[in-house]
Amino acid sequence: MKASILYKYSFILAAGVLLSGCSASISNSVSNQNNNEQYVSRYLVPNQLPAPQSIQSVQLYRKGSDNNPPIIELGSAQKMVLAFDELSDLSGQFRITFTHHDQDWDNSNIPQDWYLEGINEIIVGGGEKNELSDPDFFHYETEFPNNRLKFKISGNYMLHVSDFNSGVKLFSLPFFVTEDAGEIRSWVETIYNAGQRYNAIDQPFSEFVYPDFIEFPQFDLSFYFVQNRFWGDQKRSENYDFSEQDRSQFHLSRERAFPANYDFIGLNLNSLSVDGSQIIDVRFGQTPPLVILREDILNFTSDPVSRWTSNFGNPKSSTESRYASVRFRFDDGGRFSEDKGVYLVGDFNQWLLSENNKLRYNEDSGYWETTSLIKQGTYTYKYATKDGEHGIDDLILSDTITRRNQEYASFVYFQDPEYRYQRLLQVQIFRSSE
């Protein structure tokens, strides 16, 4: 391992922005050995550590398709796949460990041998070196559970990736193990002109038929909803009906419903060449190559057909894939000032509101501009602003009229009466209809 490892990760927290008093639902406090800092992202759950700039193209999904959510069934043959790149000219080695959490992402405080069978450690090394340079990188990939490590109970889990030699914690990712117990049916009711900006809202509903072991559902069950796999912005259902003997219904109130107009802008970087529509210039004389995008225009750039499929995007895995410095340009119509600030958030930066992704106004071009290092592939992104000192507003730049097809997940948790931990009985992925 390279001797400069401690220097290389000294900027591990540089990707975040220090904000005070942020909303608990989307602002999560994380720490490493020497720093405490707050990050704002709808994706990050409490105590999750975002990846440093030296780690790129992170993915975590159920094996079979990189569009699958990070959810596997307890006791099944299903596996999770973790993949990432390290920007380096030398191969590294990494240690992966796992923790179990309750439904609100607090540590469940149960012994490790209750939730894990085997050794709580996966060593990943070697890596696959890219065949192109500028910058050099190694690609790493591993699968779990395996014959040395299995999960014994359901619930919320977090994997933690550290540098093997130095022990420096690099990043963490949430995933879920479900029992698939009971039966669940979910749907969405859309209410128009009901949002804060008179946008449509989506009110998710679910009906859960109990498995036989549920004796006191009104005391032992809790229910949550998540929109578009933004796990850090989960919402607990405050409305439920236990009047029927074998089932319950639960939903969010209108006041806490999700926006139905949450939209995304698609980014196609499969080919680093001028396409006349999105990429208007490519400069290979720079290292890495500079890709300049056509300007995004307020309320006019988002794709009218939702193609969102993953929190991580779809970076190419070929050894001939390369990274580019991508310049984003945004025309706000004179709506924002430097004090307000405009930020680029997307699946290539963990939807993180960061000073590294803050746009600066270019008086010569008349656009807000920023650059981001991104691997060849396809991605989605948005523009966002700070919500005062309390979080992120990634809807202020969205089309307030057009309803979009959103993805939702419903979660059913059961407080185990004997061992007092949260079991995850059911997860259902469903979509609002067009």
Single out the residue of 95, 217, 106, 206 nearest to residue 155, CA to CA.
106
Pairwise CA distance, residues 393 & 401, whole Å? 17
User: 395 vs 176, which has greater pLDDT?
Assistant: 176
3-state SS record for 410-431: EEEEEECCCCCCEEEEEEEEEE
User: Is pLDDT of 402 > 80?
Assistant: no
pLDDT in the model for residue 303: 60
Single out the residue of 291, 263, 267 nearest to residue 395, CA to CA.
263
pLDDT in the model for residue 161: 98
Question: Got the DSSP string for 56-122?
Answer: EEEEEEETT-TTS-SEEETTSS--EEEEEEE--SS--EEEEEEEEE-TTS-B----HHHHEEE-S-E
For the ranges 17-31, 77-91, 141-155, the lowest mean pLDDT is seen at 17-31
User: Which CATH class, in words, describes the domain spanning 265-393?
Assistant: mainly beta
User: Is pLDDT of 163 > 50?
Assistant: yes
In terms of DSSP H, where are the helices of 168-275?
217-220
Mean pLDDT of 34-43: 66
Q: Which CATH architecture has domain 5-178?
A: Sandwich (2.60)
Q: Where does CATH 2.60.40.10 sit in the chain?
A: 5-178
Cβ proximity of 252 and 233 under 8 Å: no
User: 134 vs 161, which has greater pLDDT?
Assistant: 161
CATH for 183-261+404-431, among 2.40.50, 2.60.40, 2.40.128, 3.20.20? 2.60.40
pTM of the model: 0.89
pLDDT in the model for residue 159: 98
User: Is pLDDT of 46 > 80?
Assistant: yes
Mean pLDDT of 217-231: 96
**Spacing of C-alpha 174 from chain mean position:** 9
The percentage of residues in the chain with a pLDDT greater than 90, rounded to a whole number, is 70
